[in-house]
Amino acid sequence: MKFNDFRGWRLCRCAVVAGLFAWGNAADAGQNEVDLSAAASRREALASAQGSNSAASGTIQELGSLIRNKKVTELRTAYNGRHGASLLLDPGDMTYYVTLFTGEHFWRAAKLSDERAAENLYEEFVRRTRALAEIEIRRLTLEAEKAVVEHELGDAEARLLAARNDLAIQRQQELRLDADQQAERNQVSALKKEYTAARHHLRELEARILAVEAAQHGTKSGAIDCVDRSAESGAVVGCTR
């Protein structure tokens, strides 16, 4: 190889190496630019997310202030249990507020300038309240049903107690009636005996009366013997001397 040819080859090789080195630096530089761009994008996304959270909190406070100052008009409100969604309008700058609340507390709020977007978000919040209220509504329903059953149970217990009281009174009255009936039967039996004895005593007295009367109208020597011929009728049928 001639010197001139060798020198040319060396120059060419150096040029190739230099070119490869330059390309590598350019590639690294390009990669660094891509990495920096991605990092910047991530920072922007994070800042946007943080800004959104801050804006959401700020929107809730802003909406609360507008409501207190009566600067917004309530367009729509839907309730499901304790949860609700509202669509409000600030007529001053035609700004729409969509909020999701539980009880008296807002926990989500959005501020929009587009009516259609506000309506769509409101419908989404309403669907959310339905989902949130399912368990609560079921609990309220069960509580109401339980209260009704407990009321019916109380009525049933009261009826049972009343029936038992009526039965106890009935049995007491039956026992008392049986005792009264027995007492009356005893009185009837006793009266019957007393009546029979009185009738017998009356017959004896009537016989003595007849004997005395006969003695008054008869002779002293005659003995009067009055015989009761009919014990059943109690009549004196004849007297003999």
Strand partners, 42: none
Place of tokens 């507008």: 66
Provide the whole-model pTM.
0.43
Amino acid at 130: R
Q: How many other CB atoms are found less than 10 A from the CB of residue 203?
A: 17
Integer Cα distance of 236 and 228 in angstroms? 5
Q: Kindly report the average pLDDT of the chain as a whole number.
A: 76
pLDDT tens, position by position, 136-192: 889 889 999 999 999 999 999 999 999 999 999 999 999 999 999 999 999 999 999
pLDDT tens, position by position, 19-59: 434 434 444 444 444 343 443 443 333 333 333 444 445 89
Are the C-beta atoms of residues 218 and 239 closer than 8 Å to each other?
no
Q: How many other CB atoms are found less than 10 A from the CB of residue 64?
A: 14
Domain boundaries, the chain: 1-66, 67-144
